[in-house]
Structure 1
Amino acid sequence: MTNSKQQETQPQPPAQPMTDESRKNPTVDAIQQLGQTATPTNESNIFCMTIIGQVEGHLVLPPQNKTTKYEHLIPQLVAAEQNSKIEGVLIILNTVGGDVEAGLAIAEMIATLSKPTVTLVLGGGHSIGVPIAVSANYSIIAETATMTIHPIRLNGLVIGVPQTFEYLDKMQERVIRFITGHSRVTEEKLKELMFKTGELTRDIGTTVIGADAVKYGLINQIGGLGDAIGELNRRIEDRRHSQAGGMVQ
């Protein structure tokens, strides 16, 4: 039989140094990679999604750019739609715009969610951020926030043939059709703002401040975070009542 005292005095192996992998915190990693935390411990029924910086599309932008990757947002929207505990989605925007097709894909995903959605524009909702801002059931903009409306532009190698300009024109019509279909702005007013000259340096278009965005019918109201959450909660309650009424019938 082995002496218990001898066991106690045996030297312990040295502790293994912590590696980078063992130091990783899932919450910190989620913030660094996706810009948002996990679902709060109080089981919130609202899913908050942030769209900040530049909307990154099919090309990877330089590492110093603050970007929102659409391949991160789309799975999150699918998960929010499938999660029965999530009853509403809040989208907060402070974006300079970015890839047109990626922005339209995000906007279409938000517009086709079956759950109540509210967008809140803080700082800026520029360029392709405009369709995302109007894609929800209800849109709110901060009083000091701005939205830049301008035509679609191409960068890089452009083939100077008529087909290129026809393609641009069709893509422009897709953006205009989406914005007018999900807001109260008329097509004539939107095109007037989009092709206005003399306001933007080295570009054509218009910068619309909060109150003007509401006046033109792009956004529903001026407000902040409390207004956005309050409106979303009201729409969640309306949805609960309508579902309960359908079950009774």
Structure 2
Amino acid sequence: MNEQHHKPSYTANDAAEPAPEVPGGEKTAAAVTETIQQLGQTAVPAPGESNVYCLTIIGQIEGHLVLPPQNKTTKYEHLIPQLVAAEQNPRIEGILIILNTVGGDVEAGLAIAEMISSLSKPTVTVVIGGGHSIGVPIAVASDYSFIAESATMTIHPIRMTGLVIGVPQTFEYIEKMQERVVRFVTAHSQISENTFKELMFKTGELNRDIGTAVGGNDAVKNGLIDGIGGIGQGLAKLNELIESRRAGGGLTQ
């Protein structure tokens, strides 16, 4: 996606009376602005700022193929270095993941989910709006997960687009990929494999697809998500996990 950078306009008074220079200030502001424009993220917190890093996953998860420019996307190659940086930064004590996605590339989504689940620092996921399709493994990858009462999660079988070769090996490949998703979700949540597959293969509920749209309360009832809540509950739980880790000697100040 091509992005346009507009230069600020200046008046004659601005030219006559330049603002006092702050060492490194202009460069820092430019770097933060560039990060926001490219990644939709603010910079990793500096000393004295929050000890929690907020990671947002919105729109469609873009994988190995570049999606059309009109699509709102989250690129997995942007998220991976952010997670690595947060893991390495000693000032970051916890990571809050805000999720509102329609799904996307299966392998990219699983890669993000695996990275979140392998972080040594406390993690909490908050699903707002929706955590559909491959967003389900990402939602359950954290230490604790919340979902807004009005949010939904669509659970359905894996689909393929483009050229599909009609041979048994193709269907075996799809089945193996699907089992990867099922194993990950059931291993990182309280939902049973039978219940998850029942929701995945349910017919008659989705108009143009097979599967189930699970609301916030049902997601918690089925054991897919840990609790109902939003940003406030998510931060409170994350701080609780951080304090617990500190007490166990995992973090130092």
Query: Among 160, 171, 178, which residue is 2:166 paired with?
Result: 160
How big is the shift at 1:37?
A: 1.0
Q: Distance in 2 between matches of 1:116 and 1:74?
A: 17
The amino acid across from 1:231 in the alignment is K
SS, match of residue 249 in structure 2: helix
Name the residue aligned to 2:155: 149
How big is the shift at 1:27?
A: 2.5
How big is the shift at 1:80?
A: 0.7
The amino acid across from 1:100 in the alignment is V
Name the residue aligned to 2:22: none
Name the residue aligned to 1:225: 231
Spell out, residue by residue over 1:76-124, the C-alpha distance to the aligned partner (whole angstroms, 9 max, x if none): 1011111111000100000000000000000000000000000000000
Which is greater in Rg?
1
Q: List aligned pairs for 1:21-32, cutoff 5 A.
A: 25-32=30-37
Instruction: State how many pairs are aligned.
Output: 226
How big is the shift at 1:40?
A: 4.4
Q: Distance in 2 between matches of 1:103 and 1:220?
A: 20
Name the residue aligned to 1:35: 40
Q: Given the alignment of the two structures, is residue 77 of structure 1 paired with residue 83 of structure 2, yes or no?
A: yes
Q: Distance in 2 between matches of 1:40 and 1:115?
A: 15
Spell out, residue by residue over 1:51-92, the C-alpha distance to the aligned partner (whole angstroms, 9 max, x if none): 000000000001110000000000110111111110001000
Identify unmatched segments of 5+ residues in structure 2: 1-14, 17-26
The amino acid across from 1:232 in the alignment is L
Q: Distance in 2 between matches of 1:26 and 1:88?
A: 23
Q: List aligned pairs for 1:25-174, cutoff 5 A.
A: 25-40=30-45, 42-174=48-180
How big is the shift at 1:25?
A: 3.1
Conservation of the 8 A alpha-carbon contact between 2:44 and 2:86: no
Q: Distance in 2 between matches of 1:134 and 1:67?
A: 20
Q: Distance in 2 between matches of 1:31 and 1:124?
A: 23
| TM-score, normalised with respect to structure 1 | 0.87
Spell out, residue by residue over 1:1-58, the C-alpha distance to the aligned partner (whole angstroms, 9 max, x if none): xxxxxxxxxxxxx99xxxxxx9x93323211210111134542111100000000000
RMSD: 1.9
| TM-score, normalised with respect to structure 2 | 0.86
The amino acid across from 1:86 in the alignment is I
